[in-house]
Amino acid sequence: MPFPVEILTRLAHGLIVSCHIDEEDEVGGIDLLVYFARAAERGGAAGLRVEGVEHVRRLRPFTQLPIIGFVKGQFEDGSPLITPTEDDARALLSAGADIVAVDGTKRKRADGTDGFLFFEHLRKRLTAPLWADVATFREGVRAAESGADAVATTLAGYTPGTAAKDYRTPDFNLIQELSSALTIPVIAEGRIWEPDAAAKALSLGAHAVVVGSAITRPNVVTEVFVNALKAAAGDTR
């Protein structure tokens, strides 16, 4: 596995495409995942973010782009938990992930430990590149202090303490604050729907930008257009 700095250098100023497969597409969905990944690579993406050990394993032979792998879990309140266990992290690396994304928030897990302690534990156990998905400035600082190779704003707006009303606008303030305060790369991720928003994130200091639903979830993109047309027509249904 390449040294973390080399991988992060490859991602610099680039677009990382988060490849989604909705549950209803799971049957035969690997072909769809490969299609999205190849399309992203042809379009000039610098990396891929991929959920699930099996998805990483199946996709790895089809791309030379860096893969940021994670396992999707959830807390008791239904909010997202990124890569719940050490076993998940090890399995992602064995499957071919170059970097593992880990929940770096302060929320407590089922065993009573918070994300800070879990990340510190994982950092001591793994030499592989780890990036921390966070929701707040303090969480980003703590992750950097704990040895994260990168910090991503992935969870801003998706935790109980940061729940956002507007899911079409990135947390530009958080991106700027973290980029100004940290010496490690800050990845802008979450609620990025427009190329202008991605470009603004870079101008605020982001090392790279992750975009998912706006690229790889056609049903969601279709719904955005449909809702816009309904609003223009005065249709409130």
Q: Which domain holds residue 182?
A: 4-233
* Helix H or strand E encompassing 197: helix 195-203
Interatomic CA distance for residues 60 and 33, integer angstroms: 11
Q: Would you state the pLDDT for residue 167?
A: 80
- pTM, 2 dp: 0.93
Interatomic CA distance for residues 79 and 161, integer angstroms: 11
Which ranges of the chain have pLDDT less than 70? 1-5, 23-28, 236-237
Q: Are strands 15-19 and 208-211 parallel, antiparallel or unpaired?
A: parallel
1-20 in b/e form (b: 16+ CB < 10 A) is: eeebeebbeebeebbbbbbb
CA distances for 164 relative to 2, 31, 140, 155, angstroms: 37, 34, 18, 11
* Residue range 146-155, pLDDT digits in tens: 999 999 999 9
**CATH value at residue 202:** 3.20.20.70
* Residue range 52-67, pLDDT digits in tens: 999 999 999 999 999 9
Q: Would you state the pLDDT for residue 3?
A: 46
**Residue among 194, 143, 148, 152 nearest 175 (CA):** 152
**Residue among 65, 134, 73 nearest 99 (CA):** 65
Structure tokens at 55: 């998805």
**Domains contained in the chain, number:** 1
15 and 46 Cβ atoms separated by less than 8 Å: yes
**Residue among 221, 222, 215, 219 nearest 36 (CA):** 215
